[in-house]
Structure 1
Amino acid sequence: MKFSKKTATVCAFVLGAMILTATAFADTMLGSGFNSLKNSVKSTMTKLTGEVDNFSADMIVSVKVDGKVISESTNNIKIDVSNQAEEMSERTLNKGKITESYRYNDINQSIYNNAEDDSYTVVEKRKNNNDRKIIDNPFEEEQVKDAEKILDAFVGNLQDIIQLEESGGKKMYIGNLSDTQIPPLANAISSFAFKYAILDEWNAKRLNIPSPKSNIYLVNASGKAVENEDGIIESGIFTASISAKDNEGIEHIYSLDFSIDIKDINNTVVAAPNLVGHEVTYNKEGYEFDSKYIGKYKNDIVETKGNSFEKIGERFIEITSVKDGNIKGKYYEVYNEGYKAESIRSFDFYSNYDESIYFTKLHYLNENGEKKTGIIHQNGQQNINVSFDVEIDEENGGYSYSNYDDEFDSNFVRIFE
């Protein structure tokens, strides 16, 4: 699932606070409560990402400083696992301003709503990129597996603060933690993470709140989660308060409230919005060129003589047509009169839009009649960057190139006549 930049900032704060308290919790959580809750979270993600057909989730995240709400995000997310589709409606309060957004996503398209004028943007996905899953199980990722091992390693022999209760086929997990229960080492590590990785000066300035500088410690944290009869955590609430002093030595309390409800399992309907009567802009996913890039581009051919540079000619690229994201054009070189080049390169090229999920690949025959591949990118507003004789690692999204020689300039500037 993807979120807007504003939501991502809030979620980063959530994650950070959880890391902060998890480090502390880890030294105090012991026994069946902790292990049962951890297994329940893992089981929930396994079921939601692969065993149920669809579900909905409501999530609210609120960040406060000294009791004042500085950022709050409310999300309603609908996931259709079977048909690989999702809808997300978001309402964000940031610096007193409320913004709303809507997004629909399936294997063929993404649709975004502009709340200001109620227009829509439809982005067509690349065909060979439509096998991406709408939602993945994070516990299958290597980083999360390693983090779980670290968390388990921190578990000590202190009291069990995760209480487990069972009633009517449901399980309820309840945990409370105060500053007196946190080991000094855990608090020191958490304080460092909060100051430099979670709420650093840049994020504090962006949110217009005091930056935590010293005497950082967790005041309290509490949480509750309910597991239903099917072994899925259907609701959770988490709160935490962190104390810190700013540059002037003034103490502040940074608070976090987080809640999530998972509902309508196998009864959620996900559907694309009705675009009739709305202004709609259609785009294609990835590196796309349209008709405004049709034209001529050039750069200088330069060689070094002694301790100076000398222009000996020019390289040209002409994009002659762009249709449905596919490019056609030609490359050629023009040398100054009197200069004899070892070879003067000239060839036509073309691209197939759906060929790569990462690049716009150019195909051409070099001066020896050999089939070769190039890469073209947009560069700034109107210029382009082109590399020839490219070796592509499509699996990892990288490439290497020779560009003929060390003096080849891959940046081409648009010519306006």
Structure 2
Amino acid sequence: MLTILAAAFLGGLILNFMPCVFPVISLKAFGLIRHVHDRRTVRIEGLAFMTGVVVTMLLLGAALLTARAGGSAVGWGFQLQSPVLIAALSLIMLGSALNLMGVFEFGLAAQRIGGVAGPKSGPLGAALTGALAIVVATPCTAPFMAGAIGAALVRPPLEAMSIFLALALGFAAPFTAVSLVPACARLLPKPGAWMATLKQVLAFPMLAAAAWLAWVLAQQAGSAALGVLLASSVVLGFAAWLYGVAQRRQFSGLRHRPQLFVSIVLLIGLALPLAGLPTTSDGDSTATTVAAAPATSAPQDKPAKWTPQEIIAQRGHGKPIFVNFTASWCITCQVNDKAALSTKAVKDAMMQTGTVYMIADSTKYNADIDQAISQFGRGGLPVYVVYPADGGEPVLLPQLLSPDIVTSALEKAAKSHS
């Protein structure tokens, strides 16, 4: 159990450096630099950030365990199979980008608009940043994480929640250390006029995250759902602009209630289209095309669609089988695809060994796929499995692939038959 807890803590620590977390983590780093000379504020916001991370992680872990107790074989990142949540996250990222660009501000009454220090979000804002960081971290699975989460899913509830707590503490550790240890805080750059530019630059990773989530939504629910999200994005942008106008009028001592009222009404109106967001792509030709294609580009022209029945039919017939458990919302999956699975070396190795390539796409909920991932002892994506040509026991590959790892595994799987 101590080994599992250590793996969970280390996995949470590494998760800070995964690409899906960067947009939100950069905001927290900006906040710490902003208050670097105010030790009390840094400590309070650092602890608030850790509280948001821990509470959200425990709630997510409890929801995951509850769903599995109810018979659903879901894993890490299961909530991203919901088109409504994907759309909501995309709008949150867009709203954050507009805030960073200065379209509107938080805490404007306490400071001048456009001040270099930026808005003072306070402990509540830091806690919400921690909560958002955990939510957007779920598309990524860091090394050591998968085994720890897989262990949590088969442990008693108290032990399982301890693993999720260790994961949260590892994730929050860097910012907690900077907040509580003056020596660590001194490593941060000094605040200055450069922060005004940095604040605006940080808006672009948020916009990139919003665009990526919109693409994921199209994969899940088709062009109709994407249309709803784009319309909602325009409404959100208009509401943010009106709210910013109201704030500037307030700062100038002018009346601002009409604009503020209209912006609040518009924001409430965002909930209406999201509530009716299409969750399937039935009857949508564009969505059908997207759904038929794998979530990642394939190393062979026509990869087979994974099913439990297809695996049984193909095993032990003299050919290795490579199964790619993936999803459009899994960023680690996309990185592995570009860095390893789509390379010429891997394609050649698959051709030479006669490997049967299968894709198990978990972009939308698939009970069979989630059950298979659980049986392999993994708590989330990506999962890569190689079945030897002689029908022997399957081999799990690491979550971070390289061409050498894949080609070596395929060659060993092919030799098992000879």
Same fold (TM over 0.5): no
Larger radius of gyration: 1
Name the structure with the higher helix share.
2
Name the structure with the higher strand share.
1
TM-score bucket of the superposed structures, by smaller chain: under 0.3
TM-score w.r.t. structure 1 length? 0.28
